[in-house]
Amino acid sequence: MNSSLFHTLEGKNVYFKALSLDDTQEIHSYASDKEVKRFIGWNLMHNLDETHNHVEMMINRELAGTHLYASVVLKSTQEIIGTVMLFNFNKESNHAEIGYVFSRGHWGKGYGTESVALITDFAFDSLNLHRINARVTDANISSIRILEKNGYQLEGRQKDEDFIEGKYFDLLLLGKINSK
């Protein structure tokens, strides 16, 4: 996998950079937000040590070649506003899963849509993946819209798969096939 290229992807408003332990404080600002954590697979980070350990774990996964991670940086302020990832690589079928998380103050501004476009193009053009999958809780309407704007299609639903804050939610399976 070409992690160095992944860490240099750039769009109109955002660019990606390698995760760094030096960025723990900025990552903690959204990793410790209950609203941000609500629909993602990360545990809520209660203190900087937990976030530091989480960032270290992500860096180690990338070094092991099982995941690609990048911090999303807003060009206008140089602020880290999120984390994006490609993971669950299946080399036999040439598939992977996409994930992303953004600080709440930057929701609804198009940065998620732009970031998913960058990841998708990279996965198809540079990694030559055949397909990208996404798993999204059905109540996470904004995330579903981000994927749909990037051409991902609903492919399935797992009833009552996610249990969040004492309630069951359906898990939606979305995917996009490389048509290039």
Check which CATH number belongs to the domain holding 44 and give it.
3.40.630.30
- Please count the structural domains in the chain: 1
With residue 6 as reference, give the H or E element that holds it.
Answer: helix 3-6
Q: Is residue 163 part of a domain?
A: no
Count of residues making up the chain: 180
Q: Is residue 151 part of a domain?
A: no
The answer for residues whose C-beta is within 8 angstroms of residue 116's C-beta and 6 or more apart is 84, 98, 100, 146, 147, 149, 150
- Check residue 128 and give left, alpha or beta (phi > 0: left; psi -120 to 50: alpha): left
Q: Is residue 50 part of a domain?
A: yes
- For 127-159, b/e burial (b = at least 16 CB within 10 A) is bebebbbbbbbbebeebbebbeebebeeeeeee
pLDDT in tens, 80-123: 999 999 999 999 999 999 999 999 999 999 999 999 999 999 99
Q: Is residue 168 part of a domain?
A: no
Angle among Cα 100, 7, 13 to the nearest 5 degrees reads: 65
Q: How confident is the model at residue 125 (pLDDT cuts 50, 70, 90)?
A: very high
Provide the edge-to-edge strand list for the sheet that holds 95-102.
14-17, 68-74, 79-90, 95-102, 131-137, 167-177, 153-164
Q: Is residue 161 part of a domain?
A: no
Residue 41 is predicted with a pLDDT of 76
Q: Is residue 10 part of a domain?
A: yes
Of 152, 147, 144, the C-alpha closest to 178 is: 152
Structural domain of 106:
3-130
**pLDDT reading at 127 higher than 80:** yes
Residue 2 is predicted with a pLDDT of 67
Residue 39 is predicted with a pLDDT of 87
**pLDDT reading at 1 higher than 70:** no
- Give the mean pLDDT of the chain: 95
Q: Is residue 112 part of a domain?
A: yes
**DSSP designation for 13:** S
Q: How confident is the model at residue 45 (pLDDT cuts 50, 70, 90)?
A: very high
% of the chain exceeding 90 in pLDDT: 89
**pLDDT reading at 40 higher than 90:** no
Return the beta strands (E) in the chain as ranges: 14-17, 68-74, 79-90, 95-102, 131-137, 153-164, 167-177
Q: How confident is the model at residue 69 (pLDDT cuts 50, 70, 90)?
A: very high
**DSSP designation for 42:** S
Q: Is residue 136 part of a domain?
A: no
Residue in this structure with the two tokens 């989480």, named with its chain if needed: 54
